């Protein structure tokens, strides 16, 4: 049971470059999320998706683009990376359906450094 995976686990890129972080889940969960984690801020939501082809902005969406053509994949793209986007990025998923299933399950994270 692979669960939820992220790739790469570590990435160093230069300012202005485009970079894509991948997220893949094997549970067929309806919901998927991208968070960034910075010291002193906890986790902040970047984007989320309720189903394939349905995405919406979170708290800090500027500078990021997402897509979800398949239920199991939810890539996050930084179109022109900036140093302020240096962070640890977490992908998470959550089942849809009836009341009571709201917890999210997280991937291992990607540490991104923008130089």
Partner 1 sequence: AQTVTQSQPEMSVQEAETVTLSCTYDTSESDYYLFWYKQPPSRQMILVIRQEAYKQQNATENRFSVNFQKAAKSFSLKISDSQLGDAAMYFCAYVRGSARQLTFGSGTQLTVLP
Contact residues for partner 1, defined by CB under 8 A = 31, 33, 40-45, 48, 50, 58, 88, 90, 92, 94, 99-100, 102-106, 108-109
Q: Which pair of tokens denotes residue 20?
A: 């894509």
Shortest gap between Cβ of 59 and partner 1 (angstroms)?
A: 8
Q: Which pair of tokens denotes residue 55?
A: 């995405």
The conformation of residue 80, written as its DSSP 8-state character, comes to S
In this complex, which beta carbon is closest to partner 1, that of residue 69 or of residue 99? 99
Q: How far apart, in whole angstroms, are the C-alpha atoms of residue 52 and residue 67?
A: 8
In this complex, which beta carbon is closest to partner 1, that of residue 74 or of residue 90? 90
Shortest gap between Cβ of 18 and partner 1 (angstroms)?
A: 25
In this complex, which beta carbon is closest to partner 1, that of residue 69 or of residue 102? 102
Q: Are 6 and 21 in contact (CB under 8 A)?
A: yes
Q: How far apart, in whole angstroms, are the C-alpha atoms of residue 115 and residue 107?
A: 25
In this complex, which beta carbon is closest to partner 1, that of residue 19 or of residue 47? 47
């Amino acid at each position: 049971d692979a669960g939820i995976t992220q790739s790469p686990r570590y990435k160093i890129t230069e300012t202005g470059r485009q970079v894509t972080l991948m997220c893949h889940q094997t549970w067929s969960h309806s919901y998927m999320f991208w968070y960034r984690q910075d010291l002193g801020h906890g986790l902040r939501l970047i984007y989320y998706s309720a189903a394939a082809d349905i995405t919406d902005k979170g708290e800090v969406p500027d500078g990021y683009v997402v897509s979800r053509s398949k239920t199991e994949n939810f890539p996050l793209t930084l179109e022109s990376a900036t140093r302020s986007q240096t962070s640890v990025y977490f992908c998470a998923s959550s089942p849809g359906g009836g009341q009571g299933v709201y917890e999210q399950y997280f991937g291992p994270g990607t540490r991104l450094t923008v130089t």
